Chain A
Amino acid sequence: MAATGQNESDFFRRAPGPLAWLVLAPLAAWLFLFVIVPTGMLVVLSFAEQRGLGTIHYTWTLANYERAFQWTWLKVLGISVWFAVLTTVICMVIGYPVAYFIGRSSPRMRNILITLVMIPFWTSFLIRTYAWITILSKEGLVNAFLIAAKIVPEPVALMYTPFASVLGLVYNYLPFMILPIYTSVERLDGAMIEAAHDLGAGPLRAFSKVIIPLTSPGIAAGVLLVFVPSIAMFAITNLMGGGSQPTIGDVIYKQFTSGRNQPFGAALGTILLAIFVLALWLTKKYRKA
């Protein structure tokens, strides 16, 4: 992954001086206090039992993990990952040209446009999701148009389908793909691109052979920032997809509510974390090789 990859800067990487340690210390403290320790507590919780209304009995049982490795949950996890993959790919395809256009615009337009990409998401999540429901429902705008234009005889069920789920996911995660790609595009040297064109490369080839590779760190960052959080996202799929397809985020959330089994939720979460950290570590090793 593009994250902390090794590159030629390794040669320049040096030991921290006193000023650097001054910056490093609060960072490390933050990580320790608010990431490592809570995660540790989570792992401990995953070996516990829940009794009654919510009291946790701390033992060391593997029951939660045994339960987690059943087919049901693996299937739910698989479906969540699949939705995440779909969302990421669609965001990439839709978002890249936008990021490119904004990145290559004049500095003033750039700032305006990139902020305008984000502004819709400063509305309340629920009301903009309900706006989508108004658009997609059987008595909504899209169907009204389709029927008026005589494209379909009857309203099409667009809401509460996997299509609606993915649309909602793509809608909410698109800025997180556009922004990182934009930062890579923005630093592209205009002269380089002109040269590629002048040397006879058709627009397609200049793009695929020159521009996309140059912006790959941004693309990789965008992929990370969309794929990773969307795996555990469930509010969107519940609201837009009708909740008939359970996702791993929903399952884990339910363990803290109606499922009354917080340790099991913690176990599922720990497994998710472990899979992810492992995948990241493997990718880094692969990149080094």
Chain B
Amino acid sequence: MKSKLLALAALVLAGCGKPAAPVTQEPSKPSAEATAPPVVAAAEPKRLSIFCWSEYIPQSVIDAFSDETGIKVSVENYASNEEMLAKLMAGGGSYDLIQPSEYVVEGLIGENALQPINHAQIPNLSNIAPQFVNMPFDPGNKFTVPYMAGTVGIVVNTELVTDPITGFSDVFQEKYKGNIVVLDDAREIVTWAFKTLGIPPNEMTDENMALAKPVLEKWLPLIKVYDSDSPKTALLNGDVAIGVVWGGEGAILLNTDKKFQWVLPKEGTHLFVDSLAIPKGAKHPNNAMQFMNYILRPEVSKAISDEFPYLNPNREARALLSEEARQNSASFPPEEVVGRMILFKDIGGQASKVDEMVTSLKAQ
């Protein structure tokens, strides 16, 4: 215990104050093709600072990486993209790796806040299934490497609900009042309403929001729980019978009890993709790229999937998964459905209005 304390103190003192020896690397402007920035001549100190979602990168993976490369990894966590943005923009920490979702990547690229990655240093990128490379939010993967993807779908407790549920309109019925859990995400909820009205989810205009309002006025009083962190809790405890939740949550529920059924809404749903990226000003970009390459290894990616049953974009890793894991419909929707899913785009200032609309409806 005491040696740990001393080691900790040493780490703190070492980390405070002076930054690590500066690495000379020209921040190159993103060019038309994915050209590599100049490879650094001087060696980087063996450090890596990761800023990621809590519990999204298993500690075992990080430890194994450290053991293999000798790079000391420090991890800071956040519980939402916006929390990450708030701290990143405030300039408090100096991070080498962040884990933004697709719409945030778009915004960060727009603000010139990311460093380009060198594909020569990340050969394992070829393990990613083709449909997850070159995605609209980061053409050519100039800045990001996909980590995990997922969808939002419906979970039904078939012991409590016997009627078939096929989509959002089936969920939000009067007879299920007080029996529903949804994500505590205003944009998500409005998007579902859009889907039932046939409005494209990324067109978050005032007019469209006004169209969605009466739908929400009908839906919100039926909802018992809003929870983005662990919506499975309410379902597992039997306090609600239906949930509109993340794919990963659904997968966990399916693995826990066969009474849970996963339904992809017929009105359509969206795909989210979480990626790894290097913020501008990162002190150890090469170590960061080494880590990116590491987690793209099939066996490492499989290890991540074992702990977090989201949609693994790594084709080679998926081949290593158990049959049962691959059959989990919440983790892996059918290929053609995934192809049709929409990706969220950044809606800028409209986010504030969306939030206000949902909050005021909740408060009624």
Contacts and interface: CB of A to CB of B under 8 A. Distances in A.
- Asked if A and B touch directly (CB within 8 angstroms), the answer is yes
Interface of A: 50-55, 72, 75-76, 79, 130, 133-134, 137-140, 155, 157, 159-160, 238, 242-246, 251, 254-262, 264
A140 B238 CA distance: 9
Given A243-B226, A258-B355, A259-B352, A160 B362 contact: no
B292 to A, nearest CB: 22
Interface in B152-188: 178, 184-187
A79 B359 CA distance: 13
Interface of B: 80-83, 85-86, 88-89, 104, 107-108, 110-111, 113, 178, 184-187, 220, 223-227, 233-234, 237-240, 346, 348-349, 351-352, 355-356, 359-360, 362-363
A137 B238 contact: yes
Contacts of B104: 53
A49 to B, nearest CB: 9
A101 B31 CA distance: 74
Contacts of A76: 359, 363
Contacts of A261: 352, 355
Contacts of A159: 234, 237, 239
A75 B88 CA distance: 33
A246 B356 CA distance: 11
Nearest to A51: B349
A14 B61 CA distance: 64
Which of A79, A238, A243 has the largest number of chain B CB atoms within 10 A? A243
A246 B355 contact: no
Nearest to A72: B360
A257 B223 contact: no
B359 A246 contact: yes
A160 B234 CA distance: 9
Given A259-B351, A260-B352, 6 more contacts: A51-B349, A72-B363, A140-B237, A160-B224, A255-B352, A257-B82
Given A138-B237, A157-B239, A256-B82, A79 B225 contact: no
Contacts of A264: 352
Closest 5 CB pairs of A and B: A257-B82, A137-B237, A243-B226, A259-B355, A242-B225
Contact of A72 (B85, B225, B348, B356): B356
Contacts of A251: 359
Which of B111, B227, B352 has the largest number of chain A CB atoms within 10 A? B352
Given A134-B237, A259-B356, A260-B82, A157 B363 contact: no
A138 B178 contact: no
Contacts of B186: 258-259
A53 B85 contact: yes
Given A54-B86, A137-B238, A72 B359 contact: yes
B183 to A, nearest CB: 10
Contacts of B226: 238, 242-244
Nearest to A251: B359
Contact of A257 (B83, B88, B111, B225): B83
Contacts of B225: 160, 242-244
Contacts of A140: 237
Which of B81, B110, B233, B346 has the largest number of chain A CB atoms within 10 A? B233
Contacts of B178: 157
A177 to B, nearest CB: 28
Contacts of B80: 257-258
A242 B234 CA distance: 9
Nearest to B362: A246
B243 to A, nearest CB: 12
B128 to A, nearest CB: 26
A55 B111 contact: yes
A153 to B, nearest CB: 16
Given A76-B363, A246-B363, A260-B82, A53 B107 contact: yes
Given A258-B186, A261-B352, A130 B89 contact: no
A165 B91 CA distance: 36
Contacts of A137: 237-239
Given A52-B348, A258-B355, A138 B83 contact: no
A53 B87 CA distance: 12
Given A243-B184, A260-B82, A260-B349, A52 B362 contact: no
Which of B186, B187, B226 has the largest number of chain A CB atoms within 10 A? B226
A79 B364 CA distance: 11
Nearest to A78: B363
Contacts of B89: 53-55
Contacts of A244: 220, 223-226, 362
A264 B178 CA distance: 32
Contacts of A130: 233
Contact of B187 (A54, A258, A262): A258
Contact of B363 (A75, A155, A259): A75
Contacts of A51: 349
A220 B223 CA distance: 39
Contacts of A157: 178, 224, 239
A264 to B, nearest CB: 7
21 contacts: A52-B348, A52-B349, A53-B89, A53-B104, A53-B110, A72-B359, A133-B237, A138-B238, A138-B239, A140-B237, A160-B225, A160-B239, A238-B226, A242-B226, A243-B225, A244-B223, A244-B225, A245-B362, A246-B363, A255-B352, A259-B352
A140 B88 CA distance: 41
B85 A54 contact: yes
B351 A254 contact: no
A260 B239 contact: no
A73 B89 CA distance: 27
Contacts of A262: 86
A53 B233 contact: no
A214 B235 CA distance: 50
Nearest to B103: A53
Contacts of B351: 258-260
